[in-house]
Amino acid sequence: MRAIWSEIPLFVTLRTFWSLIGLIYFFAFTSLGVQAPGLLGSHGILPFADYLKSAHDSLGGRAYWVLPSVLWLGPTDAALAACWIGGALFALAAIFGLRQRTALAACLVLWISLCSAGQDFLSFQWDILLSEAGFLAIFADLSTVRILLFRWLLFRLMFFSGVVKIASGDATWRNLTAMSYHYLTQPLPTPLAWLLYQLPAGFHKIETAVTFFVELLVPFWFFAPRRLRHIAGWITVGFQVLILATGNYTFFNFLAIVLAMFLFLEPSGAPSRKWLTAALAVFIGVTSGILCLQLFSFPLPPGGAAVEHFVAPLRIVNSYGLFAVMTTERDEIIVEGSADGVEWKAYEFPYKPGDPRRAPPVVEPHQPRLDWQMWFAALGDYRENRWFVNFAIRLLQGEPVVLRLLAYNPFPKEPPAFVRARLFRYRFTRLGQSGWWTCEEKGEYLPAVSLR
């Protein structure tokens, strides 16, 4: 009886982990689902059916492996909806403890299917992190090797993020000024980011040094004895909480916190299938080892490139590295339409900076993927962002599914005859100033275009 009761807390802990992964899947599927018609549908910005057809025309049968997706079975809007709704339902099953391994396996298949078809809108590091964590979750147990595989994933996530900052040669990381810019220039800051931005430069230098400590040193404690490993776990959790409090990074920080659970779990017994554990460890060890060699620019072993190309489409072993180069200025694209080419009216996005009087939002774990892509688009020009040109075309066509991605449509009766985009330099206001932002025009981003 004592042995049975001693196993119950461990069993509940593992089931809790599966439920939390299911919850993150639910956030991911539903967040994407409400935007999918406007982003990827047949009348959206980047229709996924056209993308799959183009891939098949170029690659032939290889396209099915390069872009693994159940959507090949029927590239329609109904199939797109079925994919994310099905994923959300399986996620709910995992949350409530219904055949959790099976439910999570179904979630993984459907999530990879959406990522393969998602193009620019599903190319974020947390999208692939969810694939890798979801893959490991299917095989999770309290054996030593499988617990170590989760710790190894968290190690790569944290340590690689620190390494890329050093390897990039970015001056702001090297002189410890990066955090002086981070709160302002990150994609979707929160009101707390505005407040922390007001702090003196010396404080931000300390923050930058702490970031290096957490990302470059603490991850090695993930494999230390129990006490030091638990300290590393709490440091990692606290670090992720600070990030999610100051920036909207969708489900990323929540997922990292869930992975940190394995820093507190202790092995209990041998796995039921030792051969599966060994195969899993070898597969992840070899693939992630190749990624490590690439990160440090070491030559790959014979066959290494072939292994990488074979595994990459599955998105179940990945390389990570966030904020390798710190952006030091914040530029925002303001999209406008006009009926006559003389009077222009601005489209308002729901979450990215627009009206300087509007407070930064708190929107996580939802990810407004169009708002996020607008941040990336401002780092280059429209020629480098095919999706932005398509977005302008959809505005000229007055496509309802795309307009629903916006907070305000200044042309409710009929679409504009012209669309253009201008670039503005945004800065946080200082204490005592009114509003949240100041802005000044920098120039043209997209010249006025029309369907004619």
How much is the pLDDT for 282?
83
Indicate the range of 10-24, 157-171, 189-203 predicted with least confidence. Answer: 10-24
Average pLDDT, the chain: 91
- Token pair belonging to 379: 């780092």
| Contact between residue 103 and residue 93 where contact means Cβ atoms under 8 Å apart | yes
Least confident of 45-59, 207-221, 236-250, 270-284: 270-284
Tokens of 330: 């914040």
pTM: 0.93
What pLDDT does 298 receive?
67
113, pLDDT greater than 70: yes
What are the pLDDT digits (tens) for 181-215?
A: 999 999 999 999 999 999 999 999 999 999 999 99
CB atoms within 10 A of CB 136: 23
Report phi then psi at 47, rounded to 5: -55, 125
The Cα–Cα gap between 206 and 211 comes to 9
Is the model's pLDDT at 1 over the cut of 50? no
Per-residue pLDDT of 256-300, as tens digits, reads: 999 999 999 888 765 557 777 778 788 787 887 777 777 776 676
- pLDDT at 297 (0 to 100): 66
- 338 membership: H or E segment, kind and range: strand 330-338
Q: By the 8 A CB rule, do 23 and 275 touch?
A: no
Contact (CB, 8 A) for 112 and 131: yes
pLDDT tens per residue, range 287-336: 877 777 777 766 767 777 777 777 788 888 888 888 889 999 999 999 99
pLDDT of 404 over the 50 cut: yes
Q: Kindly report the three-state secondary structure assignment for every residue of 196-256.
A: HHCCCHHHHHHHHHHHHHHHHHHHHHHHCCHHHHHHHHHHHHHHHHHHHHHECCCCHHHHH
Q: Given this model, what pLDDT does residue 210 score? A: 97
> Does the pLDDT of residue 74 top 80, yes or no?
yes
Predicted pLDDT of residue 279:
86
Residue 250: per-residue pLDDT: 95
More confident residue, 19 or 318: 19
- pLDDT top residue among 365 and 432: 365
What pLDDT was estimated at residue 4? 41
**Residue range 37-66: mean pLDDT, rounded:** 96
Section 135-163 average pLDDT: 93
| pLDDT at res. 10 | 46
pLDDT at residue 8, rounded to an integer: 39
- What is the DSSP track for 137-161? HHT--SSHHHHHHHHHHHHHHHHHH
Q: What is the mean pLDDT of residues 95-114?
A: 96
Which candidate, 236, 401, 424, places its Cα nearest to that of 331? 424
| Lowest pLDDT segment from 16-30, 266-280, 337-351 | 266-280
- Tell me how far CA of residue 385 lies from CA of 119, 374, 388, in angstroms: 12, 10, 5
